[in-house]
Each structure stands twice: as C-alpha cells, then as structure tokens.
A and B are shown apart, each in its own frame.
Chain A
Amino acid sequence: MTQPEAQLTRRLRWAGSLISLGLLVEAGSLYALKALSFLAFAGIGGGLVAAGVGLFLYTVSAE
C-alpha cells in the first residue's frame, strides 16, 4: 500500500469511527424521554456525525 493510500484508509477509518459512534449515541438518546437526551443527541451525537462527515468530505476532496 502506497503512502497516499495508507493515509486515505486511515482517514476513512477515522471518519467511519466518528460517524458510527455519533450515530450510536443518537440511537441511544432516543430511548429516554428527557431534555438531557436531546442535548446528548444534538451535542454529542450530532457533533460526532458532523465531524466524521466533514473528515470524509475533506478526505474525498483531497484525494
């Protein structure tokens, strides 16, 4: 694997991890009818998904 390919793979894995973690937090937050769970959804889950998607778009555009 060449260095650019290795970097691409590493970034994709980071993006995937962030998105997956964010989505799992979002899913977990739906099981509680509390204002705090909305904060977890928007603040933590949404933040992680946004970061992951952003990293993915950056990776693809830089490729």
Chain B
Amino acid sequence: MNTKKNRLSIDQNIPNQETGFSLLKYLIVGVFFGIIFVKAEIISWFRIQEMFRLQSFFMYGVIGSAILVGMISIQLIKRLDIKTIKGETVFIKEKKFKKGQIIGGFIFGLGWALTGACPGPIYAQIGVGYTVVIITFISAVAGTWIYGRFADRLPS
C-alpha cells in the first residue's frame, strides 16, 4: 500500500501530465482528424476492401502521403530543433523490434480486413452513427485485455 502511494505521488510530479483545459487542444486535433477520416471515406469498409484487393490507389495514396508529410515534419522539427508550445525539446521514443510486430501485426491485419477499420476509424464510425460498431469497439478493448492478461506467455 505504501509503495503504491509513493508511486502515485511520483507519477503526479511528471510534467507531461495534463489536466482540464490543457486537454482541450487534443480534443480539437481529434475532431479535425475525425472529420478528415469521414470526408475522405477512410472509415469505409469498402475502401479497405479496395485496398486489400489492389483495386484502388486511394488508401495507398492517403497512407503514403501521410507518411511523407509526417517524415518531412519530423525531420524539420529535429534539424531546426523546433520546441513544443511549452518550450520543451521534442522527444520521440524509439521503437524496439519484437516478434509481436510480426505476429501481432499479422493478427491485426486479419481483423482490419474483417471490420474494415483500424482503431481510429472505429471511433469515427461510431460518431457518424454506425452505432453497431460499439460492439466492435468493446471487442477491441476486450482483445487488448486478453493480450494484457497473457502477454507474459506470448513470444516477445
């Protein structure tokens, strides 16, 4: 109990923790993002089928150009040492290679083609009014729980 209390108090001192109005900016970015998802029809089950059947360039164009813009942005931030709005240096955690990226990645791909949605579009689909996708969302949360429960027994 004592250690738990200590840990909590340490965590609360981390400057990155934001609360209240400070969080509003992420809501706004999310809203813009959701609108783009819907207006480009990325949330469509059919667009994902076109992609996996190689019958339309659309999704490849979306993901490819998003990567290109992301890459240029990160390079600019690093080379020009652009700071955050609070003046912090931008820090991006490195990704370590794990077997999960192969096995888990493949499993996610199977689900992506079935649901026609990766995690972002699941939220947007619900917002648009496809309320039955709430079941997909609950299942995804449950799937993550199952992963967490058995994570230590899976090849990593």
**A and B are interacting partners:** no
